[in-house]
């Protein structure tokens, strides 16, 4: 971001270009494919990187599969962390920023919804701005209702924040320092909107890029529409509104 010292601090203490964090909750059916996609994408890019898998209280074989993958691919820079209980996506996201060593930082969900081309597209813009914000040209398998809700949410965030971002849940590429410094406080799916608008308030630069992805319907505890995540989105919207009012007042 543009504030003095931020970029220098991020670059002077890290030996790697990129940290990829992969939070998982009961993703034994998808996590191996997710790691394969990451590995394939990074083979196309001249970047140093690491992958941090955070098993967020899974009750299935997610960690076992990750450990087996690491043993089978000793050259793949993979670390596994296990939360003894589920702490939520935002907590894993922020924790991963403190555990990582890369200058840039990006979340890749463990449910294998992003193709190789999407990761290559996002990472190839590394260094062009403080935030690389992807938006979906098409989100396959997503119902009309879910698309409408997503568009409505984006409209609300833009209205309350005063910005005009195309999509807030597209998992932006950030300077890792900024995630540590301005890490979101929400506990569900609203955390990216909170972080992006906060960084824009602080003067961060951003570019938006089109990507492809697919929607994967979750069980109730992982769904964006459950009560916990609905409360998180409400918290995010209120926080953005209060921040804008405070900015105008002071």
User: Does residue 239 lie in a domain region?
Assistant: yes
Tell me, what's the pLDDT at 137? 76
Give how many domains the chain has, as a whole number: 1
pLDDT tens column, 42-100: 999 999 999 999 999 999 999 999 999 999 999 999 999 999 999 989 999 999 999 99
Q: What is the CATH number of the domain that holds 63?
A: 3.90.550.10
User: Does residue 211 lie in a domain region?
Assistant: yes
User: Does residue 127 lie in a domain region?
Assistant: yes
Mean pLDDT of 18-28: 97
User: Does residue 237 lie in a domain region?
Assistant: yes
User: Does residue 66 lie in a domain region?
Assistant: yes
pLDDT tens column, 138-188: 666 667 777 888 889 999 999 999 999 999 988 999 999 999 999 887 766
Q: Is 186 exposed, middle or buried (0-12, 13-18, 19+ CB in 10 A)?
A: buried
Q: In sequence order, which residues have a C-beta less than 8 Å from that of residue 92 and are 6 or more positions away?
A: 21, 23, 54, 56, 83
Q: Is 149 exposed, middle or buried (0-12, 13-18, 19+ CB in 10 A)?
A: middle
User: Does residue 67 lie in a domain region?
Assistant: yes
Which structural domain range is residue 222 located in? 6-249
Tell me, what's the pLDDT at 3? 43
User: Does residue 123 lie in a domain region?
Assistant: yes
User: Does residue 1 lie in a domain region?
Assistant: no
> Which pTM was predicted?
0.86
pLDDT band at residue 227, thresholds of 50, 70 and 90? low
């Amino acid at each position: 971001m543009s504030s003095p010292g931020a970029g220098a601090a991020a670059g002077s203490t890290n030996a790697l270009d990129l940290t990829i964090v992969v939070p998982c909750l009961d993703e034994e059916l998808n996590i191996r494919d997710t790691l394969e996609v990451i590995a394939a994408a990074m083979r196309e890019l001249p970047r140093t990187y690491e992958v941090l898998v955070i098993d967020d209280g899974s009750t299935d074989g997610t960690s076992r599969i990750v450990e087996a993958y690491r043993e089978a691919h000793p050259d793949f820079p993979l670390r596994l962390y296990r939360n003894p209980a589920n702490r939520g996506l935002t907590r894993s996201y922020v924790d991963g920023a403190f555990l990582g060593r890369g200058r840039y930082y990006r979340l890749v969900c463990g449910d294998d919804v992003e193709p190789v081309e999407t990761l290559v597209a996002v990472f190839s813009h590394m260094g062009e701005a403080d935030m690389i914000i992807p938006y979906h040209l098409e989100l396959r398998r997503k119902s009309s209702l879910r698309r409408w809700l997503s568009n409505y949410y984006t409209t609300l965030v833009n209205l309350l924040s005063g910005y005009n971002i195309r999509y807030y849940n597209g998992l932006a590429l950030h300077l890792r320092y900024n995630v540590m410094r301005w890490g979101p406080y929400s506990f569900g799916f609203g955390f990216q909107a909170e972080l992006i608008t906060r960084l824009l308030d602080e003067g961060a630069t951003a570019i938006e890029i089109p990507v492809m992805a697919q929607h994967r319907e979750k069980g109730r505890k992982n769904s964006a529409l459950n009560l916990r995540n609905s409360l998180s989105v409400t918290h995010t919207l209120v926080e953005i509104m209060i921040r804008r009012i405070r900015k105008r007042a002071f």
